[in-house]
Chains A and B, each alone.
Chain A
Amino acid sequence: MTEITLEVNGVTKTLDVEPRRLLADVLRQEFDLSGVHIGCAHGACGCCTVHLDETPRLSCLTFAVQCDGSSIKTVEAMGGPSADHLLQQAFKSEHGLQCGYCTPGFIMTLAPFVDEAIASRRMPENDEIREAMSGNICRCTGYHGIVAAVRKAIGSGLGENA
């Protein structure tokens, strides 16, 4: 057992974990965050993406002990229980989700991409948007609605009414 301290969605906890425990499992169980999903557990689907010190990271390929002292953010902290983050709302209006299983991973992967586009005041091409999500698999939507959601979120961030 190793003692680690994690700040997760603004809450700091110190806990003893086995070195082999995955960050995904610790977030799901010790922090009770059901929005962290496991789709493959081998780093190939993006379902488990969270932010580790503000950078998207696959929590199925990360041991919790590697994150001692880090700050972690999961989908629960993006827009709260009403999902009112810009990108979450765009997923809703553009039908960027169906079963919702891949969705938290897509949100966590794409939110920094959306922020960056808004900060640089530029609407990316569809190809760039598709490339930005190339590490995430969605089996339901065919990606179409997700691309539209990213455009919509960036558009509203840029002050367009599109």
Chain B
Amino acid sequence: MKAEQPRHVGARIQRFEDIRLLSGLARYIDDIRLPNMLHLNFVRADIAHARIVGIDSSALADIGYPTWVFTGEHTAGLSMKAHQDYPEMQYSEQPLLAEGKVRFVGEPVAVVLAEDAYKAEDAAEHVMVEYDSLPVVGTMKQARDASLPPLFDGWTSNVIVQRQMKGGDLEAARTAAAHVIKRTYRTQRQAGVPMECRGVVAHYNPADRLLTVWSSTQMPHLVRTYIAEELNLPESRIRVVAPDVGGGFGIKGQVFGDEVLVAWLAMKTGRPVKWIEDRREHLVASLHARDHEHTLEAYVSADGRLLGLKADITVDNGAYSTFPFTAAGEPGMVGKVLPGPYDLKAYEATFRAVATNKCPIGTYRGVARPSAVFSQERLMDDIALELGMDPFELRLKNIVREFPYKNVLGFTYDEGSYAQSLEQMRGLLAKDIVDATASRASETTRIGVGFACFIEQTAHGTPDFTRRRVPIETGYIAARVEMSPDGEATIDLGLQNHGQGLETTMAQVAADALGILPENIYVRHGDTLTTPYSVGTWGSRGGPLGGGAVHIAATKLADKLRAIAAHLLQVKADQIELANGKASVRGNPGNHIEIRKLARAALRNVDQLPEGMTPGLEAHASLDGPRDGSYSNAVHAAVVEIDVTTGKMKLRRFVVVEDCGTILNPLVVDGQVRGGVVQGIGSAMFEHFIYDAECQPLTTNFADYLMPLAPEIPDIEVHHIETPTPLTPLGAKGLGEGGAIGPAAAIANAVANALGVGVISTPLNTNALWKLSQHIREAV
């Protein structure tokens, strides 16, 4: 069902939310201030693995101002449970405050409340925790060493989960192969780092028994459900509000123990409680990402056909499983997506998550796919090198060209532009390839060209979650559209906007259906009191599913407007067109009535309605994703220049050819792609969360944890191909994450090309490049 003539969808409309954000009027979590509020400061573990011997807060008696201290004894039994119902998965819980043991540096052990944030921080320093240290499990290798004791009582090893997935006849592929290429690839642990840290404020009002929780989250409804279940409260009496949120990137797409804890404390103390995370806490103890090792074995025919692929995947998950995507989510996703855009007939993956004494791993933009695509696309280049083939030719030989395509694991790919985007990219890089070849003679400066071709499953529907038995359970988005008597509309949306431009794009979608202007549509989101239940903004579903739900609801409302107009103009409803604020008779535009008059009739002058029609102008729709999702595709390319005498690398170009189906707003789409790419460049070149052998974190501030800054980043060139999907109402596919997926692979391939070496790991920082270019320096 398409809008008859899209007028606003597809237009480069400037964002409505910008004025609030630019003027300083936005309200983020730290701007929530309530009378009589208590400020919370955590006492966190400063040792990675230990038994808690005792907690002594007696020094607070003399501190000279009131304080409140809570430990795991007070919160006993309250915990974060994130279990995937796989028989082989070992169960773990993270207590809200540590009970008996701590398992990573930064784990909350106690909280101190005071009437001022500075005082709470001072007071927390007076709480002494005595530990009895335990040996750490610090690496994947140690985690798989059966002689080391497990992190949890009752576990048999530190392998949290290990499973297999397969399709086709791998043995036959191996036998038929002329080449077997085996490599192990490694992507590093990193942090997600939204510029706004996390934070929670909670307030309990006994008058109406309403608990209000403000949280810097991407998923307010899920936070509400978890709090209700854990604290045993009726969900109708909990309101969760995500105010303006300063970036999320998946990091804020989990339910955190502190959200439950702050809510519990507000009820316990009878006063509003506020916690604002500081940057060190964010870096060491909110959520980490990536940290993968993949061993791939490809079976390839003499002429470069990929016959089969065997994969062994390990993710260093850290200490706990996170809700709602769990410890199995990250490695399982790699197993699922490795077949990629290639026509592969035999595949087998073994994936596992292992537990170590580190911060838990969770979803960060791209979720496992930046690592998966790094391995997949490095492997393709390694195969091309071994066979002496051009890397474009190798990919074009194996690329999926017929749609819908059922892949080796049974997932169906909808229409895409895989081959076309590869061909387009080849054209865009022609001159760089010549420059790169010419630079091989240079003893100091080498130029390299690398690219990565990938697909991204977006907007997956409930069956995808059911198959994985993951506690997120579903992925639908709901919207309610309402028109007021003045003819303006409000959208109450189950998504949460933290930079995606939803207050604009969703108004564009509704405007096309309703025939009014986007600026006359107010998009409300992020508040469970006003918005219909939904899973929140994550997993590249805002455009396709949020936009789709808004389209369906607005179309229902438009149908009613047409029925009223038809009655008043004495024509048939299917003769009515809604546009420019008017309902007019098709072919006779002089015969029209203003939409605001129809709204007035529906809500006030209801005597004008057709007989039997109920008053009101409100419609609801919820939209689940397609069974296997809808697949966006892209090719990313990097042109790098490496000074082999210093290891310094410059990005000369970064080019994207992408296809996310129907584009709702090109301004926003380009912004999402470019922002994602630069985060991907961070993964490729800069960001590395480092622990020492005792699992002490070493990168706890922005001087040590490096992210891309403007001078290091080139202009990002973006080219679009639009292949609308038949699987979502507007033809849109998801695009929020794709930008971050390709850069590590593209840059690594460019480095390999420039230096003539195999690249097996990230980050490709100056140190790494210095080592990788040693053979060139030695040859001089």
Contacts and interface: CB of A to CB of B under 8 A. Distances in A.
Interface of A: 18, 20-21, 28-29, 33-42, 44-45, 47, 74-76, 79-83, 88, 91-93, 95, 97-104, 107, 126-127, 129-131, 133-134, 136-147
B498 A99 contact: yes
B30 interface: yes
Contacts of A103: 21-22
A99 B667 contact: no
B387 interface: no
Interface of B: 14-15, 17-28, 30-31, 33, 118, 193-197, 244-249, 278-279, 498-501, 667-668, 670-671, 674-679, 701-703, 707, 709-711, 713, 715-716, 739
Contacts of A81: 19, 23, 25
- Greatest chain B CB density within 10 A among A42, A100, A130, A134 is at A100
Contacts of B17: 100
19 contacts: A37-B28, A37-B196, A38-B30, A42-B703, A44-B701, A74-B24, A76-B25, A102-B195, A103-B21, A103-B22, A104-B22, A104-B24, A107-B22, A131-B711, A137-B709, A142-B675, A143-B710, A145-B674, A147-B710
Contact of B713 (A44, A82, A101, A142): A142
A13 B677 CA distance: 45
A101 B24 contact: no
Contacts of B710: 129-131, 133-134, 136, 138, 143, 146-147
A26 to B, nearest CB: 12
A145 B667 CA distance: 10
Nearest to B193: A139
- Greatest chain A CB density within 10 A among B26, B702, B710 is at B710
A156 B667 CA distance: 20
A145 B671 contact: yes
Given A92-B15, A93-B14, A141-B675, A76 B24 contact: yes
Contacts of B703: 42, 44
A34 B707 contact: no
Which DSSP category, helix, strand, loop or mixed, fits chain A's interface?
Answer: loop
Contact of B28 (A34, A74, A95): A34
- Greatest chain A CB density within 10 A among B33, B249, B711 is at B711
A44 B678 CA distance: 18
A162 to B, nearest CB: 16
Given A76-B24, A134-B709, A137-B709, A98 B499 contact: yes
A104 B195 CA distance: 12
Contacts of A107: 22
Given A129-B710, A142-B676, A144-B716, 10 more contacts: A21-B118, A34-B24, A35-B23, A36-B24, A45-B702, A47-B195, A81-B19, A99-B195, A141-B671, A142-B678
Q: Which 8 A-B pairs have the closest CB atoms?
A: A35-B24, A100-B21, A101-B246, A142-B678, A98-B499, A99-B499, A44-B702, A83-B22
A40 B194 contact: no
Contacts of A101: 28, 194-196, 246-247
A139 B249 contact: yes
Given A42-B702, A130-B710, A131-B711, A92 B194 contact: no
A93 B22 CA distance: 12
Contact of A41 (B14, B15, B278, B715): B278
Nearest to B31: A34
Contacts of B30: 28, 38
B247 A34 contact: no
Contact of B24 (A33, A91, A99, A131): A33
Given A44-B701, A95-B15, A144-B716, A34 B25 contact: yes
Contacts of A21: 118
Contacts of A143: 678, 710, 713
Contacts of A93: 14
A41 B707 CA distance: 16
- Greatest chain A CB density within 10 A among B22, B194, B667, B739 is at B22
Contact of A37 (B15, B19, B246, B674): B246
B22 A92 contact: yes
Contact of A100 (B26, B33, B118, B679): B26
Nearest to B501: A98
A57 to B, nearest CB: 17
A76 to B, nearest CB: 4
A72 B707 CA distance: 30
B72 to A, nearest CB: 28
Contact of B195 (A42, A80, A127, A137): A137
B23 A82 contact: yes
B701 A79 contact: no
B658 to A, nearest CB: 14
Contacts of B24: 33-36, 74-76, 104
A75 B23 CA distance: 6
A72 to B, nearest CB: 13
B26 A34 contact: yes
A130 B714 CA distance: 9
A42 B279 contact: yes
Contacts of A147: 710, 715
Contacts of B674: 141-142, 144-145
